[in-house]
Structures are given as structure tokens and as C-alpha cells.
Amino acid sequence: MDKYEKRRLRLIEVRDLLCGGSAATLAKRIDKSGSYVSRMLWPDGRDGRKRIGEDTVEQIERAFNWARGTFDSDTPVTALAEMKANVNPPNKGLKSPLIGHKPSHSVGTLHDLNIEPGPEIRGKLPLITWVQAGAWEKVVDTFTVGDAEEWLLSPIPTSKKAYYLRVRGLSMYNPSGEPSFNENDLILVEPQSDAESGSLVVVLLDDSAEATFKQLIVEDGKKYLRALNPDWPNRIIQVNGNATICGVVKTKVVRY
């Protein structure tokens, strides 16, 4: 994996963990247009993709008050997000929401960060079926604890309507690397996020009783659903008003 692909995946994590999963919020934060940010997030090989160069890296680091080199470092964004939420900013006198929590300073650049309180990370979300996902807007308000297969913690801020799904099959397995989803991976779906070209979405087709998982592609005003697996039959299908987007996939959980 080259440095540009690593930066693209890093920026996806920044969007999901530090900007609530919103590309528009990320664009505003780093002072770039929404379309430019979207093109930076496009996978390699797609026409119009913008590589994340050195100037953009510095711009991102300035926007988040990170020390130089943080974006390209191996420091997990999850660690930066946790510190952002749980560490007291200097001279503010704020109490940490985790009593007795002591942030790790094992990474040399962390003490240079300008930390501020981040969004609250909510509690548990339901793991539901693909049939339930297709009708989620109708059932979410009457959904009870026992209706879920189980309840799982969310690693990112979400709305109250977010949920998990268990991936079935290998249509979204990408042999070229991330994003890639294996059977039984758990995906976190946010119904209240806006889908854009390149988004990973859960979709209900009009002729189906259950939702499906694909990548949304918008080109020349036309919408397509694409499987990430290049060997998948009927990999790309065009949709014209015959599909409803149920939510945008924000992250995944892999269990061993």
C-alpha cells in the first residue's frame, strides 16, 4: 500500500471518528470544498480522485492542532479521538468524564496536541437483521431490547437510530485492500448521514423484502450500486428511483 492510499484511509478514519462521519464537516474543518474532500476519499483508479499531498497533510494537521507528522504517524485515530473526548484542555479546569482516567503519553507527539472536549460517544446499538434494516424507519420507534440479536457499543458518535448489521456473503470483499468486508463482519450503519458518491450504503430495492450492502456511485447524474468484489456477477447495477438508501456505513467490527 503506497502512502497516498494510507492517507486516504487515514482521512476516512478522521472523518468518521472526529467529524461525526460527515464529509461536509471535515471539509469545513480543513477549509476545503465538499467536492474536493469527496474526491480525496475516492478509491484509487477512479477518474478525478485527488491525492493527499504534503500541503494538504499540513493543512489537516493545522486544522486539528496536531504536531507535524501526526497524520502520517502510526498513532491510531481512535486514540486521538479518545484523548480529544477525555483529556482536560490546559488551564480550563474541566473535569474528565472518566474518573481516574489517565491518558497515555507513550507517543511523543501527544503532549503537543491542543486537546478540547469532543462529542459524547453514545452507548450500545442494536444488531438487527437485513429485513429489519429495510423497514427501519417504520420500526425504530417501537423497537425493544429483545428485538435485537444483541447490543454492541459504538466506537464513534452516532444518532439514536444507528444500528449494526452482520455482513453476508463476499460481494463486498475487496482483494485489493480496504475498504473490504468479509462474511460475518459487523458494520455500523448511520441512517441520518447523507450518502454521496463513493459512500458505502445499505439499500432497499423496490423488488426486495430485505436490504443489501453496496457502494453508491454517482456519475453524470446517474446512480449506480457497485459490489467491491471485482469478480462478483452483475457487479454494477443502475438504479433510477427504484431504491431507497437506508443508511451509510461508518465503520466495521471484526470478531475472531
For the chain, the average pLDDT equals 81
The answer, yes or no, to whether residue 109 has pLDDT greater than 70, is no
* Confidence bin at 199 (pLDDT 50/70/90): very high
Q: What does the pLDDT look like over 136-148, one tens digit per residue?
A: 988 888 888 888 8
Q: Is the four-CA dihedral 154, 157, 161, 167 of positive or negative sign?
A: negative
* Confidence bin at 81 (pLDDT 50/70/90): low
**pLDDT given at position 110:** 39
Between 77-86 and 3-18, two packed helices, what is the crossing angle to 10 degrees?
Answer: 30
**Domains of the chain (ranges, CATH numbers):** 3-112 (no CATH), 124-253 (2.10.109.10)
In SS3 terms, 97-153 reads as CCCCCCCCCCCCCHHHCCCCCCCCCCCEEEEECHHHHHCHHHHHHHCCHHHCCEEEE
**pLDDT given at position 236:** 95
Query: The pTM is what?
Result: 0.54
Query: One-letter amino acid identity for 186?
Result: L
The answer, yes or no, to whether residue 133 has pLDDT greater than 90, is yes
**DSSP bridge partners of 214:** 201
**pLDDT given at position 203:** 95
**pLDDT given at position 95:** 35
**pLDDT given at position 250:** 93
Average pLDDT of 168-181?
92
